Every structure is written in structure tokens, then in C-alpha cells.
Structure 1
């Protein structure tokens, strides 16, 4: 390890600082520093990682990044971006520069155990947890697809100040007076056939090392090492007070991320979409709802500069939640979803298509022909070979399992006549592309219960195939499902010096969160290789 070194750059004109192979290295960071760059040089050991921690105002270390053999470069905002969290004073009241501490630790790349506890970042919007709870008390996040009400029994993740047993929450709600079963947040789903998971007591001071249980969130991959979790709602209808996390896939650990980015973060919400554009390296967050408030705003997170911005868009798009959003040739295609109507009319579902052009910051509605799908929400949409495949969804009291295809060249809808046994009608299922001709549908809600079945659809043959996998046996709905080519796998091959993805690239399926309609919100992360699913076709 003599030739191994970790370096830190605190400013544009500063020379790199060398940790000199120390097990722990600390340096004072000037408050004016806008960005910190950390990188390594030399030969890595097989079981080493380097954690970067920045002290907050209480001199409590907050983990803000890490280096591993698979992620040897990291950059993150300096105190100039998060000074309210990192500046502190000495005994005389003088301002002190925050300390950046680098510590080398052993880790196993295959391990999925949580890292050491980290302190949850402070809220940026100036609103306390008590204010959030007061705002939510007595309100409902209603939409026409919601079916059953739930009550909280316990909170094994953490206890929120002011939270009591027996408070009401609604995961899926159709109307007043609906009965339901108990719903409590859990880190890990109970094993089927083994009864409920034992509840372990927690203390109020225990910090979160992974996201709280939730549904209705978005999980957006941005590179082989990173996915970003945004939003969601947990027990007692409380919107998550830990709304943004960064998933580091080299060791499957979570880092609180709300305070890592500069600019106004999106207001707490569920039923929104977060779509990543690999060309501009930006995440587009659109729509969603919070209690009786609906959104049609567009927020952009630049993953290079880690800055949030709000779009002042031209054109009109209604407030929508539980819609689908697909990226094609740099534009966002928003289809369906729930929109609010004035009381006493029930909220309605849309069959409209809206397109957002980020280059012009404008919304427009294209001329679409063909057999348009019925209005719906909670459906899924996958882009395959210049076509958007739309499956399932709900428009009270109907639940769908039909398939439609939008040809993006002709802008023409058509109904897809499928082969094989299709999934039963459902909404709020997970859907993601597995290959150039196959996508997977997992779980969902049929109006009565959460589902645990899994199907693949082949667009070359228009054939459904049911799969059975032990890691996909827990019923859940409102969860997130993505695929990633992880950094510790063979990600790509070189062709004339240009790196490009290959069908031979090994990918991993990740399933996060959701609820089961039987008393649980989840914050577990399930992983399995895409090859395992494709081999069953």
C-alpha cells in the first residue's frame, strides 16, 4: 500500500492535499470553499474504503462521500454551499472552519450491511418536524385510485416527536368510511409463511442509516455508482422527513442527500416522477401531490454541479400525480395521471399526452392519432425502440391490465394484442426495462390487496411470461424498481476509444420500499441480477 494515496482539493487554485497513507486525516476547510474534490492514486487493497466526513455546527460528523476500489473519485459541495450546517464557533464565540476528516475502513464490496450511523442532514426549507406534522394533521392525500385506510401500530425505524399510537394513516384511499388494516413502517418485509417480523424497540436519538419506510417515492439511477431517492410518504400520512437520499451501489449504503445540493429543493410530495437525462446529466422532477395540494412544477437537479433549479416553463400542463414520464430524445413525455377537480366532484384521471422540451422550457400537446388508451393513473410506461409501452393503471372503479403502444415516430397509439397469460389488473406496480426487447412488471395493487407476482413482456413476440423468484415473493405496491450496471461489474467495453453500453453488460435489478396493505411500509432494498430473470424467459 506504499504507492497508494488519497488527495483532497479544497479550491480551484489550491494544490492537492495528500493524506500520506494515514488511517485518519483531518483538514480545516475554508468556509468560502464551494466544492471539495477527493480522489485516489495508486493501488487499492481489496477491502478498503475511505469515508469523507464534514463536521456540522454541533461538531457531529456527517458522511458526505466515500471512495472505494470501484469509485475512486468523488466531489461534493463545500461549506460555501452548506455553511448553515457546517460552521461552528469556539468557546470565545469566534467562527471556526469545519473539519473534513478522511478515514480508511475495511469493507466487503459484496456486503449490503448498513454503514456506521450518520446524522440526518438539517432541513433546508426552514420548516421543523412539528410544523410538518401540524400541517399534515387532519388532512388526506386523496386520489381516485386509493382504496383502504390504515392505522399505525408501532414505529421500529424511529419515533417522531409528537407521534402517538393509534394515529390514522391512509396508504390507498377511495373515500370516507372505508375500513382497513393496520399499517406500520418496517425496514424489512416479513418472510412469507413465517408471520410478522418481530418489532424491536428504538430510541428517539438513534439516527437513520437508511431511508424510513415509504411508498410513492421515486428512485432514479444517475450512474453505475449512484441512485437518488426523492420524496415518499410513510405511516400516519406523514410525508418523509428524510426526503432525499443517495444510494452508493458499491457497498449498497445510503447517505442523506437533502443538504448536499444547493438551491430550492422540491416540496415534499408523492406520486411524482423523477427522470434522468444521461446527455445533460440532470434529473427532472415533475408533479405529484401533498395532502390536498397538487403540483405541476418542474424541478431540475444538475448532478454535475449538485444544484437545484425551478423551471419557469411556458405552455400549460395540469397538476398531475401518479402519471408516467418517459425520456425520449431529450424530451419528457408525460401521460395520464390524476388531476384535481373542484369539490364536490371526485378527482379525475387523464388520457392526455404532454411533452416538455427542456431546451425551450415549454410544454406542448402533440397531435396524436390511433386507438388512445382510456384515462388512467398508477400505470407504467417503458420506452423500447422508439415506442412507449403503457400497461395497467386505474380509473375508479376500473382497474386495467391492457397494453397500449405509442409509436414516437408516427405519434400513433395502438392496442397491443398480447400472447401468454397477462398479469391481473393492477396499478402502482413496478416496471423497468431489462433488455432491448423485454421489460418486467412486479407487484402492484388490484383494489383489494397488494400483489407479489412478476411478469416479463417481450416486445418482439408480444408475449407475457410469469416468473417466480424467492426474492420477489413479498406483496408490495407504490415501490420503486430500477436496473443498474453496477460499478463492481464489467460495465462496458471499448470501441475505438469510446465507451458504450453493451447488451452483454451485466445489470442488477433493485427494488425499494412500498407498502403491502397488511401493516407494513418498507425501506428494504432487494437486489438480483437481470440475467436471472431473463434466463427464465
Structure 2
């Protein structure tokens, strides 16, 4: 038996042979459940048009092997859209808001990612008032609740008040409909299908969209420009965190990912000078310090991408644009970039070493236990040179 025989009659062989890879996109949603990254929605630029991607399909990326597969979706399928806010709760993807062909929406949908059916269900509220239509917002998951923050969207004249929670976009005002940015906090309880707008304390962040959020313990963190704020989801108290070290350049359209109990990983975005960024930073919430992370993707700027926590504190960045997002013919991407944020275990180092050197070590692989051999098989796929000829779908 040789290393290549590992792939005979294997689940990945057909996907590899077909060259399956999710299409490039921006404004999509992506979540990690188990060993898969699930990707849905978003848009691409075709000529002078922004085209939403199909709404009745979901892409699965095996984070161990780097192999893509696609599944059809059924049920109450949401309309094609971008700018949606996706979150994972008890094995279900919840998506809220976004922008479709009819404009901004405030609909909520959910789909089970683990039963293999991929059947969408539209969630009907049984109580409370949902947020007004919006996109480019963030969500924290805490104690089986979905907590939404911020976004850009529309309000009726009767929905405006004298608070500072909504800034009107003067360029988009139309009669009695106002578009703008908000810093509202809304809470959804899936168990009762009810909405609640908690009363927060402290000084909240300025109204915003295209920001980035992450969850650590009972606190939700969020950042835009070069600030960072924290909302305690037990006391509903806002706190601005003042860094004791130099801070990253201000930005939007970036991502923030929790990579440990006390650390957040920031990547990419669009600078305040409208320059696409490719830098990565680690923020220690206890020491209140930023540290720039060296990584191999400095030549791959990204904005309006997604970032998810994978195995061994890896962060998997997918999609997004490498150009200024407001250009119609923007450079959408479909690379899955892997960022190492912590030292790997000895087992992970060995698996990756074998994966990179499969031909040299093919005789020794025959001595591995079956379970470990299966894991090694996936790493061989991940590092297989031919993977780059199948769309370049991942980069470690």
C-alpha cells in the first residue's frame, strides 16, 4: 500500500476530482460546527452589477482535509442576500437581517447543521418587538440567547426618538423613511421565540455598522475604527477598554475572533484611509494589550470576510474582498486562510509533518493505528500539491 492508496474509494476523492470549491463572495455568513466550516449567502460583482449567490445551497469545508462539498437546502429558504448576521446555537445556524433584492430585512431564519437535512425554518416571533430592518450587524451568543448589536438600516419617522442610538445617513433620507447607523442592543430567546430590548448602563459605543464582535465568557466585545468596547451580558453594562499598548490602525469590515479565554484575534478590514488591510493582531483582555501576529498571509488583504475558530485555536478566514468594497468590480476571494494563533500540540505537529511529507513517509504510515491513519489521510489531502490546481481553496 502506498500513500496514494489512502485516497481510493475515499469520500474526498470525488470532490477533489470534480474540483469543487465554494465560489468567491463577500458579505456571506460562515460558522464552524464540528470539523466543518459552513458557508451560506453573500454576493459577487459581475460587470456593473452586484449579484446575490444562490440561497438554496450550503457549502461545507472540511477544516482537516481542505476539501469542499455542497448540499441543497429546503424548507423556508431565505431570499438570496448579503450582510446577514449568522450565529451558532445548539447546532443550528441562525441568520438575522441582511439586504436582499427588496432592501433591508429583519427576518430571522434557522437551520440545523448536524441532522444532514439542511432544512430552513423561518422563525416567527411570539412576543416582543424585533429590531428594525438592518444589515452589517454583530451577534453574541450567551446562555441560549442571541444578542444583536448595531448595524445599518432603515427606520420610519415614528420609530425615531431623541436618543443618540441612531445616526441618520443624510444622503439616504427619503420622505418619512430614514437610513442610518445604530448602537442598539436586542435580545432574542429561541426557546420562547421572544424579543427583548434590555436597558443598558454605562457609555455605549457610537452607532456603527461593519464592525466586529466576539464573545468571551459572559462578555461581548466589539470594535470599529481603533476602539474596543465590552458589554457585560449579566449586568448589561458597557465599558470602553483603553489599551496600555499601541493600537492597530483604525478600520471597518474586519473580523474579531475569540481564540482563548482571554485573547481575541483581529484580522484585516478597510483602514480609515480606505486601504485594504492584511495585518493580524492579538488582544489580551486581561493585560489590555495588543500584539501584532506574524503570519504568512500578508499579501492577502481581506475585508467583509468571515473568520471562525477552528481546531487548535486556528482561525479560518474565508472569502471577502481584496479591494475597496465600494468599487463595483471588486476582487472577491474564495481562499480559506488558516492563521495559527497558538503553539501546536506535538500530535498536531506530527500530523502536519506527515501530511507534508506523505511520499517520503508512506511506508511508516502503514504502521499507524486505523484511527490515526484516517486523520493523517485528511492532512495529506490538505497539503497535497494538486490542491492548488483545484481552485486554491485553502492556504496554511
Pair in the same fold by TM > 0.5: yes
CA–CA separation in structure 1 for the residues paired with 2:317 and 2:343: 15
Q: Indicate if the aligned counterparts of 2:212 and 2:222 stay in contact, CA closer than 8 A.
A: yes
Deviations 1:331-352 (A, max 9, x none): 0010000112561676200111
Assess, with a 3 A threshold, how the Cα gap between structure 1 residues 47 and 507 changes in structure 2: closer, same or farther: farther
Distance, in Å, in 2 between the alignment partners of 1:412 and 1:423 is 25
Partner in structure 2 of residue 357 of structure 1: 189
Q: Distance in 2 between matches of 1:329 and 1:309?
A: 22
Corresponding residue for residue 228 of structure 1: 38
* 1:289 counterpart = 2:114: no
Aligned to 2:80: 268
Aligned length: 311
The CA deviation at 1:232 is 0.7
- Larger RCO (alpha carbons 8 Å, 6+ apart): 2
TM-score (ref. length: structure 2): 0.73
Deviation at 1:46, TM superposition (A): 7.9
The alpha-carbon deviation at position 419 of structure 1 amounts to 1.6
CA contact (8 A) 1:337 1:376 kept: yes
Q: Which of these residues, 47, 58, 63, is aligned with residue 6 of structure 2?
A: 47
Match of 2:247 among 407, 422, 435: 422
What TM-score do you get using the length of structure 1 for normalisation? 0.55
Pairwise CA distance, 1:431: 1.4
| Higher normalized helix content (fraction of residues) | 2
Q: Choose the corresponding residue for 2:308, options 465, 482, 492.
A: 482
* Unaligned stretches of 5+ residues in structure 1: 2-44, 52-65, 69-104, 107-113, 118-207, 393-399, 486-505
* In 1, Cα distance between equivalents of 2:8 and 2:314: 22
- Partner in structure 1 of residue 276 of structure 2: 450
SS in 1 for 2:78: coil
Aligned counterparts, 1:106-117, within 5 A: 115-117=16-18
The answer (yes or no) to whether the contact 2:214–2:221 under 8 Å persists in 1 is yes
Q: Report the equivalent of 1:412.
A: 237
Q: Aligned-pair distance for 1:292?
A: 4.9
Q: What SS class does the counterpart of residue 191 from structure 2 fall into?
A: coil
Instruction: Tell me the distance in 2 between the aligned counterparts of 1:430 and 1:46.
Output: 40
Over the residues paired in the alignment, what is the CA RMSD in angstroms?
Answer: 2.4
Superposition deviation, residue 473 in structure 1: 3.5
Question: Residues 320 and 221 (structure 1 numbering): CA distance in 2 closer, same or farther, change over 3 Å?
Answer: same
Are residue 515 (structure 1) and residue 328 (structure 2) matched? no
Runs of 4 or more consecutive aligned structure 1 residues displaced over 6 Å after TM superposition: none
Question: Residue 326 of structure 1 aligns with which residue?
Answer: 140
Counterpart contact for 1:232–1:269, Cα < 8 Å? yes
| 8 A Cα contact 1:449 1:516, kept in partner | no
Determine if contact 1:351/1:376 at 8 Å carries over to the other structure. yes
Contact 1:220 1:482 in 2 (8 A): yes
- 1:303 matched residue in structure 2: 113
- Partners in 1 of 2:235 and 2:65 — Cα distance? 44
CA distance in 2, matches of 1:250, 1:49: 18
Alignment gaps of 5+ in structure 2: 156-172, 325-329, 345-396
Distance 1:376 1:291 in 2: 23
Whole-Å Cα distance in 1 between the matches of residues 278 and 63 of structure 2?
25
The answer on 1:315 being equivalent to 2:116 is no
Contact 2:260 2:313 in 1 (8 A): no
Deviations 1:220-272 (A, max 9, x none): 1111x212101111113111237521112232111122x1x431222111111
Give, in angstroms, the shift of residue 304 of structure 1.
3.5
Whole-Å separation in 1 of the counterparts to 2:252 and 2:343:
25
